[in-house]
Amino acid sequence: MKAPYYSTFITLTNHFPFEIDPKDQLIDEYDSSSAILNRYVTTVRYQDEAIKNFFFDRMKEEGLYDNTMFVLMGDHYGISEAHHQAMAELLKKR
């Protein structure tokens, strides 16, 4: 590929209904009053690892990492407002 170039990497894991195959779960599901938040936390962890292992590490292996500007952004603000109380409880425990 001729440099410079632009590429887009889109993830889908962190979108409602926040479901993940049990074999891909890297942490136990969180235990709160919100089943949605519980699944959300699990998919956030999976996405973090997937971006590192399947994207950043691959860029390093291909020799592209050191000469690349990465811009990571979301297409929404996270979990819906209906789950803010459960999220506040989670953050207070950390």
pLDDT higher than threshold 70 for residue 72? yes
Residue 86, judged by CB atoms within 10 A of its CB (0-12, 13-18, 19+), counts as buried
Compute how many other C-beta atoms are within 10 angstroms of the C-beta atom of residue 18.
Answer: 19
Determine, yes or no, domain membership for 15. Answer: no
Note whether 79 and 87 are within 8 A (CB).
Answer: yes
Q: Give, rounded to a whole angstrom, the gap between the first and last alpha carbons of the chain.
A: 44
Compute how many other C-beta atoms are within 10 angstroms of the C-beta atom of residue 11.
Answer: 15
42: pLDDT confidence band, cut at 50, 70 and 90? very high
Determine, yes or no, domain membership for 18. Answer: no
Domain span including residue 77? 25-93
Prediction pTM value: 0.76
> Distance between CA atoms of 57 and 3, rounded to whole angstroms?
20
Based on the structure, what is the number of domains in the chain? 1
Q: What is the mean pLDDT of residues 51-80?
A: 87
Determine, yes or no, domain membership for 83. Answer: yes
